[in-house]
Amino acid sequence: MMKTFSSSSGWHRLLGQWLPLLLWMVIIFGVSDRPSGTLPDFGFWDSLVKKSGHFLAYAVLAGLAYRATAETRRPFVWAMVITAIYAGGDEFHQTFVDGRSGSMMDVLIDCAGGATALYLIWRNLTL
């Protein structure tokens, strides 16, 4: 049976849970949609800075996904599924952006960031 929200407070709670996640997804999409020529170059540190950005962006995404799904039966699983699917979709999207390409390595880095954040949340909850 589908859960419905008859009161405005229910909608506020729902928006409070999901809106931050959706806004973060929009931010990631916006950065991913930039052609390669418009991205900053960090010289010697370029790869490290950009891969760290992937890791951190998806750590935040996983934390927000956990927050959105915290009241479900398996919030950690759902948060990781959301993170992995969005990471794969984001890399696929980049194949259509001028000068960009999708990378399975980036998906793995994104998932590692998500898994790390979820581990830290789990550890904090179980201590």
The residues spanned by each domain of the chain are 11-35+45-126
Q: Provide the residue count of the chain.
A: 127
Measured CA to CA, the distance from residue 95 to residue 92 in angstroms comes to 5
Span 38-61, pLDDT tens digits:
999 999 999 999 999 999 999 999
Per-residue pLDDT of 10-20, as tens digits, reads 777 778 899 99
Measured between alpha carbons, how far is 46 from 53 in angstroms, rounded to an integer? 11
Q: What is the pLDDT of residue 6?
A: 47
Distance from chain centroid for Cα 100 = 19
**DSSP state at residue 61:** H
Q: What is the pLDDT of residue 16?
A: 86
Query: Structure pTM?
Result: 0.89
